[in-house]
Amino acid sequence: MKRLLPSAIFLFLIVFCTSFQDVNAPGESYYIVVSKKKYELSVYDHKGWLVTYPVVFGSNDPRDKYMEGDRRTPEGTFTIISKRIHEKWDRFLLLDYPNADSYKKFNDRKARGLIPQNASIGGGVGIHGTWPHEGYAIDQYQNWTWGCISMKNQDVEELFQMIPIGTKVTIRE
């Protein structure tokens, strides 16, 4: 019986003093901040900054996306709603653009006459890689997308593995 007491205490300490929870619960611990001005995508977790990647965008116009076809990258806070391997751009992390805030800005701009009444808001904005062997576009800050955020393929593959669906993404000028 005396030999069981130390074992029982040890087992008790293991069970009650050890956390078996994942420290990076999906969608809660990571968040991404994209700076269009700095051409950077930074990843953070609950402890702080983890990594920063170089990125490019749609047009050379750094303003917020107004409507479909303007090739601008939208600003605001979005959520990654799906991830998939992409036949052209290596990996694709789809954002929930347009969301409620995007529609509010779009409708306000329409009401103020900043965009045509027949314009549509667009969609399909995400984070993805480049065409094969065209990572140089990132190094040379060549904005080429239709409003998405583009990364080097090896970077987007790393991000794809790290970031769960549900992760918040803030895009700012």
Task: Report whether 173 contacts 62 (CB < 8 A).
Answer: yes
User: How is the chain split into domains, by residue range?
Assistant: 21-172
As a whole number of angstroms, the distance between CA 150 and CA 156 comes to 8
The CATH code of the domain at 21-172 is 2.40.440.10
Q: What is the pLDDT of residue 28?
A: 52
Q: Identify which has the larger pLDDT, 39 or 25.
A: 39
Over residues 59-113, the pLDDT tens digits come to: 889 899 999 999 999 999 999 999 999 999 999 999 999 999 999 999 999 999 9
For residue 13, is pLDDT > 90?
no
Residue 22 above 70 pLDDT? no
CA 44 → CA 16, 49, 50, 73, 77, distances in Å?
29, 4, 5, 21, 15
Task: Return the pLDDT at 158.
Answer: 98
Q: How much of the chain exceeds pLDDT 70, in percent?
A: 84
